[in-house]
Structure 1
Amino acid sequence: MKPFAYVRAGSLREAAAAYAQRPGSRYLGGGTNLVDLMKHGVETPGTLIDLTRLPLHEVEEQPAGAVRVGALVPNSDLAAHPLVRSRYPALSQALLAGASGQLRNVATTGGNLLQRTRCPYFQDVSKPCNKREPGTGCGAREGVHRDHAVLGHSEQCIATHPSDMAVALAALDAEIELYGGEGATRRVAATEFHRLPGEEPERDTVIRPGEIITAVVLPPAPAGAVSLYRKARDRASYAFALASVAAVLELDAGRVRHVALAFGGLAHRPWRATIAEERLIGAEPSDAVVREAVEAELDRARPLRDNAFKVVLAHRLACDALGTLIRSAGGQPPLPRTP
């Protein structure tokens, strides 16, 4: 066991000050990912700064119809909240698709966004990994990479982001609220919060040193919009996505008025499918139009030796999800799903 100091923060200002005074610190919420990484020796913080007593546990409706989710709201509570279930079903479904019930009871909204990749080369300190130790190489590129990225990867890293919740937030155009000390706050679009690896795979997000996630802000849900989340995995529970999709759709007079599509399990961050969205806006959404739009998006994929199946899987998931939403938005019952 490597020794570390422990600080229980009583306020955001106190937490940020403690971080500034103690290089190598980490903020602690539920700890469901951080503590595991400490056990493996991947994370070796000199100090843990406990945030759990800060007033960040509420889900609040804003005057204009937005919903503000405190960073310490447990995943299980957020999934079950009436506002989320009624207005943002894709988010509730994504949360329930993640981890186990026990972990969802402890894992927090902020911590979910900050969880690290489950790439086995990252989690094994005996293996080379540019994300864990820049400059050592990417063991997965020529090694075992069936679960790895097919979009947006680089020579430095082919890892995928593990969060289900983050995929739904990207499709819902949510924003991440950050506190940077001395009262300074800013918001970052969920689509821009996580990074592609590029030449700095060790940087998962655009968060600045010492910043604290304080909330996730969901915009008002369009009255006619429908949404859902679909996930494909190797087993029915407690498994990360091979591919997943969050979709939001609104029709007007039989044409697509608004659509948002985000993929999970395919890239270093939730992948917003902007090409597919552009093809679908204003279109009469037939099965053929949907297939062509999704194909145009996935033409950007660069699969590796063992994971080309992910492209086909993602295409089928997206077409199925969008088809379900099109029928739902048009007042038609969904087609029966193949067992």
Structure 2
Amino acid sequence: MSTLHFPRRPEWVARVEALDPDRSSPQRLAAQLLRSANDHDIVVLNGAGRAEQALVGLLVATRRRPAIVLADATWRSGGSLVERVARRAAIRAIDGPRMHYCVLSSAESRIFPSTWGVDPGRVFFTPWYYAFSEEELAIPTTSDGGVFAGGNSLRDYSPLVAAGRGLSAEVTIASDQVAAGELPPNVHAGPVPPERYMQLMRSAEVVVVALAARHDRSAGQQTYLTAMAIGKPVVVTDVMGVRDYVEDGVTGHIVPPADPVALRSKLEWVLDPANRNESDLIVRRAREVALARFGPDQYVRSLLRVIERAAATTC
């Protein structure tokens, strides 16, 4: 049983009874889950959702505790010492041989056990996937929108703002993480609706994923994988998880974090018509890799493998 709803993925539909969180209130979803949990050996929850994190505590307290798989358990360790201790204590309260955790990078699969004090044998790397459906992937794109960057999670846009100053292209940052007063004339920033966000990505000449370096978790996978899947050149900062998905100079461009000079140099290279043939080759490879390895079908299969492992060891 799961709160992860993949109605268009036959392998998931055939093997998992899924509750749709978008069609139920959190209270109703919790009631449905608790009523049915005793009839299932394994429950798969979204580890990134606060409501579903709370459900774990309720499931742990049930008479017949099922094995639990937490997908997307990409958690911040906390800022202050008090916060870190409190979060670790909360994980310790729910952890046990029947808990299994899925993370989105190979680095997290190594550091998650020590960060949270859990058994490394119950932590799994399940690669993330691009955001578009098959129909959305088929929509034509253009390349007249300049440089695009977007997202709020663990972003650092200061290097992009500096790199964009005087650049030959317009730079659009779809985020609320940039103060308008610090922007050059060709750099535009602010939150946009989801539909506009996707339009901006579709029209971009190059997509930048400006990630902040962190020691505890990764971010940004869906942004750069979606850009790769629709045939956009991708420039991403070299932080945790990126090299699991992007091969520098082969399927994308990786630059050091907090380095506007390196970022500017790479943007100028991508935007230079003299490099078009080489850039197009990188884009084609990136699209092939994204579609073959990082789609929703591949993600579902990785979750099913974790479910099989959980069943073999706890049921």
Scaled by the length of structure 1, the TM-score of the pair is: 0.23
**Which structure shows the bigger proportion of residues in strand conformation?**
1
Scaled by the length of structure 2, the TM-score of the pair is: 0.25
Q: Greater CA radius of gyration, 1 or 2?
A: 2
**Which structure shows the bigger proportion of residues in helix conformation?**
2
